[in-house]
Amino acid sequence: MRIAVIGSGYVGLVAAACLAELGHKVICIDKDRERIAALNEGKTPIFEDYLQELLDRHRGTNLRFSTELREAVRESLIILIAVGTPIAVDGDADLSHVEAVTRDIACAVDGYKVIVEKSTVPVYTSAWMERAMVLNGCEREEFDVVSNPEFLREGSAVKDFLYPDRIVVGSNSERALAHLREMYAPLIDGSYFQRADAVPKPDRADIPPVYIETSTQSAELIKHACNAFLAMKISFINAVANVCETVGADIEDVCKGIGSDTRIGPRFLRAGIGYGGSCFPKDVAAFRSAARKHGYRFELLDEVHRINQQQRHRFMKKVRMALWTLKNKKLAVLGLAFKDGTDDVRESPAIDIIKGLIQEGCQITAFDPAAMKRAEEVMGNSIAYAPDPYAAAKDADALLILTEWREFANLDLPRMKQLLNYPIVLDGRNLYSPADMAKAGLNYYSMGRAPLEISHPMPIRPVAE
């Protein structure tokens, strides 16, 4: 099938590469000329497993890059919109990019097109897009609008696209639904997985995925509700972690007990410094705002957000608790990205915490396996950057772990102890057991567990709100 993908950001680029991998002829459009030139030269602007391989495999054959939207629309049957929907001042999603692209598509249409909304958008966006198409001169029978939300996670986006839990397609048009079934056929019938050159299947993936056809409003709600629910799960476990600290329970044991109930499940129950990234914070706010606009005050989501912000402050209090005063303290920070497996620092709790510590007079030396360049764009030279965790720790007064990178869970702890000025580790992601830290002779402060103070135990001081 001939497919145009408008937007070469995270979702657009991954969708374009994966649809080319499924055998379609894809043209990916962006108005950013430099980005398109770089993509045409074989450069990959984002850090994502398997993306470079897929782009190399299909560039120039199944996959092309261009800035010419009009031509792309004319030569394609399916047009995917994957442009940004940033947060507006009042928590609403800013849909101006979606509207502008819809208008451009309407002006280019010269025959029947299926317009697929892939950006994360509030309920009724598809209806607004239909209206905009007509207002910009398109006949109603020349197009259908479909809501087809994307559920990919940064770091595993390619595998999430090719081995999804489910595919959600919202449309009131049987004709459009049939075209989308054809687009996803290799995933729905499992034939992609049979290919010798397929991207390897993740252990957990079910083949075929659940395929859900529904109304556009339901599809739009599924996306927002899904992200809001996952964010709620994280805030819930963080609230439980805070109770654990006050009563002397261990959040890791509590999580095991809760997560082994199959109705709840163990995923997204990791306590820590809270969620970040370009999706959860924005989508919790946008869902809350959309619900309010349609007459429902979704106050639970206020609390999800509040608990999330509070986790960062609680961590700062722990740093104070461990170090007594902060002014002029030298801190080694491991982790800048908002989570492991990505170079993305947008809404990163790590960056927020670092900014808070700098304000208190701390000097920071940081290391992240992927996000140093991106972090430098935000933090400049307000912090120092180290080439590895040990260089960061040398002569620091404490070691802080702020991102859940796997390599941070396997540090040489005795070596760390030697390098640090004081034997103090603050772990915002619970990557270690207190027993391992005790063995290494390190004082250890984590989330939802009692502080381990080997060198000089202090009276129990629960972290107050």
Footprint of ligand UGA (CB under 6 A): 120, 150-154, 227, 230, 234, 268-270, 272, 274-277, 279-280, 338-339, 404
Please tell me which residue in 18, 138, 255, 279 is annotated as part of the active site: 279
Least distance in angstroms from the C-beta of 125 to ligand UGA: 15
Closest CA to 358 of 384, 394, 393, 321: 384
Q: Rounded to 5 degrees, what angle do the CA atoms 374, 379, 382 make?
A: 140
Would you say 106 or 152 has its CB closer to ligand UGA? Answer: 152
Structure tokens at 362: 């701390």
Could you give the dihedral angle defined by the CA atoms of residues 435, 438, 442 and 448, in that order, rounded to the nearest 10 degrees?
40
Shortest distance, position 364 Cβ to ligand UGA, whole Å: 20
Question: What's the closest the beta carbon of residue 418 comes to ligand UGA, in angstroms?
Answer: 30
User: For 333-362, b where at least 16 C-beta lie within 10 A, e where not — what string?
Assistant: bbbbbbbbbbbbbbbbbbbbbbebbbeeeb
Q: Which is nearer to ligand UGA, 23 or 45 (CB)?
A: 45
Q: What is d(CA 423, CA 397) in angstroms, rounded to the nearest whole number? A: 8
Nearer to ligand UGA by Cβ, of 9 and 23: the residue is 9
Q: What is the rounded CA–CA span in Å between residue 261 and residue 249? A: 19
Shortest CB 403 distance to ligand UGA, Å: 7
Instruction: Please give the structure tokens belonging to residue 330.
Output: 């030298």
Which residue, among 326, 418, 408, has the nearest Cα to 364 in the 3D structure?
A: 326
How distant, in Å, are the alpha carbons of 131, 275, 443, 454, 462 from that of 446? Answer: 52, 16, 10, 14, 12
Q: Which is nearer to ligand UGA, 20 or 402 (CB)?
A: 402
Distances in whole angstroms, Cα of residue 217 to Cα of each of 149, 168, 221, 300 = 11, 12, 6, 22
CB burial of 57-85 (b: ≥16 within 10 Å; e: otherwise) equals ebbeebbbbeeebeebbeebbbbbbbbbb
Of the two residues 60 and 202, which places its CB atom closer to ligand UGA in the complex? 202
CB of 356 to ligand UGA, least distance (A): 17
Contact 333, 371 (CB under 8 A): no
Taking the complex as a whole, the smallest distance from the CB of residue 58 to ligand UGA amounts, in Å, to: 23
- Contact between residue 118 and residue 15 where contact means Cβ atoms under 8 Å apart: yes
Quick one: 74 or 313, whose CB is closer to ligand UGA? 313
Kindly state the tokens that stand for 266: 């163990």
Residue partners of 131: CB distance under 8 A and separation at least 6: none
Least distance to ligand UGA from the beta carbon of 95, Å?
Answer: 16
- Rank residues 84 and 208 by Cβ distance to ligand UGA and give the closer one: 84
Tokens 């080319």 locate to: 20
DSSP 410: G
Nearest approach in angstroms of CB 258 to ligand UGA is: 12
The minimum distance between CB 311 and ligand UGA, in angstroms, equals 9
Q: Is 275 within 8 Å of 308 (Cβ atoms)? A: yes
Q: Write the CB contacts of 278 (distance below 8 Å, at least 6 apart in sequence).
A: 10, 344, 346, 347
| Contact status, residue 73 vs residue 4, Cβ threshold 8 Å | yes
Question: Peptide bond before 208: cis, by omega within 30 degrees of 0?
Answer: yes
Say whether 279 is catalytic.
Answer: yes
What positions carry a catalytic annotation?
Answer: 279
